[in-house]
Amino acid sequence: MKRLALCLLLVWSASAWGDVAEFRHFSLDVPEGWTASEEGPVVSVVAGDKSSSLTITTDSPNGSTIGELASRFSLELGGTAPEKDSDGNYTFEFHGGNSQAMIMGDEDFYMLIIASGMGINSDALIEILSSLEMK
């Protein structure tokens, strides 16, 4: 799970290997053969064979702390106890470790990132997350 946090914090040039998709709060590269869609606060990026997906939810915490949100989402998903990193972000796993989640934000805005069906070291995950640019 700590690798997922590191992937989000690393800044390096990623080769353009897909189309850039624009969403309400951010843009990101979508790998060739994958699809991306936005419905309300949720952006879904799904592999063509549906074996892997990445969902990114952005919303207001409505008075909750990031820690409270992490605990609530982990409980709802049947996940492990959230772990807080040195930057104040929380991570947890669910579905027997097949899915990893990270939540970050502040009192005005949070971002919940869930990676399913792909390892934390997945080239696709690293490429997608390293291309994410907030608006």
> What are the pLDDT digits (tens) for 27-68?
999 988 999 999 999 999 999 999 899 999 999 999 999 999
If phi over 0 gives left and psi between -120 and 50 gives alpha, with beta otherwise, what is residue 31? beta
Region label for 50, one of left (φ > 0), alpha (ψ between -120 and 50) or beta (otherwise): left
The correct CATH number of 2-11+45-134 out of 3.30.160, 1.10.10, 1.10.287, 3.10.450 is: 3.30.160
pLDDT band for position 17 (cuts 50, 70, 90):
low
pTM confidence score: 0.84
